[in-house]
Amino acid sequence: MMRRSKLEMYIDILKVLAHRGPLKLTHIMYKANVNCSVLKQYLEFLIKQNLVEERTVGKRRVVYAITQRGITVLKYFRELKQVLPIVEESRNRTPIPY
């Protein structure tokens, strides 16, 4: 299996939060298949971009939720993938030896 690009990881996290969220850190970790330290960095970035928000539930429990802007970005990304199936294709092709 090929390693996911940073973009794919961001999109996977957004997808998980769109379909299952709001979620705790550990739940995102398992569902998006990202390790904890990497996930924290990625969530920080997504929060800075206003794609994800941190919410406090009850006294201390922190959960992460996708924002309206995050949902919009996810929608555009889906549309882009339909327009550009070439991107997937070229990644799956075996490199030509020179």
Q: Where are the domains of the chain?
A: 6-92
pLDDT at 4: 77
Domain spanning 6-92: CATH 1.10.3720.10: no
Which tokens is 98 given? 């020179």
pLDDT at 21: 85
47-51 contact pairs (CB < 8 A, 24+): 51/10, 51/14
Q: Please give the chain's pLDDT, 98 residues, in tens.
A: 567 788 889 999 999 999 998 999 999 999 999 999 999 999 999 999 999 999 998 888 899 999 999 999 999 998 888 887 655 555 555 555 65
Report d(CA 7, CA 87) in Å as an integer: 13
Report d(CA 69, CA 30) in Å as an integer: 24
Task: Give pLDDT tens digits for 19-46.
Answer: 998 999 999 999 999 999 999 999 999 9
Report d(CA 74, CA 80) in Å as an integer: 10
Q: How many residues does the chain have?
A: 98
